[in-house]
Amino acid sequence: MLVQLYAMRGLRYTVRRKLYLIFKFEMRKILITAFVLFSLSLAQGCSFYKIDIRQGNTLDEEVINSLRVGMSKQQVVFLMGTPLVQDPFHPNRWDYVYTFKPGGGKMTSQHVCLYFEGDQLSRIDKTGFTPEKPQAP
């Protein structure tokens, strides 16, 4: 009877020991996985990069100042490129729009309207255009 008691105690000990080892190794895997995921999320947050976004027609002050009333549509397209917006309700008005959003910064917008009478440039509206200051590298 005493031998059976010791055998039962030994069996309980080995079962407990196996359960402890399984739990220990599983917890170790879970903790290592959690640590790796946490480290990766921190590393990604530190190296986050936002790109500059440029859209529309690039408006250059020099090119806009070279526009003259009386130029033909072909001459304007040669200088400025094709307009970004051609309104079907105002076919004699061309809109040149440029937007720039630096990575993580505030978006700026430039806008120039050209009005035509027939094939000739009749008016230049530069109220939405402010020349950009050169940025130091």
Q: What is the CATH number of the domain that holds 80?
A: 3.30.1450
- 11 and 62 belong to one structural domain: no
- Which residue stretches of the chain have pLDDT < 70? 1-13, 15, 19-20, 42-48, 132-137
Within 10 A of 53 (CB to CB), how many other CB atoms are there?
Answer: 11
Of 109, 123, 115, the residue nearest 94 (C-alpha): 115
- 44 and 101 belong to one structural domain: no
- 35 and 8 belong to one structural domain: yes
- 89 and 119 belong to one structural domain: yes
- 23 and 41 belong to one structural domain: yes
Q: What is the pLDDT of residue 116?
A: 93
Strand segments (E) across 25-119 = 53-56, 85-86, 93-101, 108-117
- 25 and 64 belong to one structural domain: no
- 24 and 89 belong to one structural domain: no
Q: What is the pLDDT of residue 47?
A: 56
Cα gap 85→91, rounded to integer Å: 10
Q: What is the pLDDT of residue 137?
A: 41
Structural domains counted in the chain: 2
**Residue 91 lies in domain:** 53-128
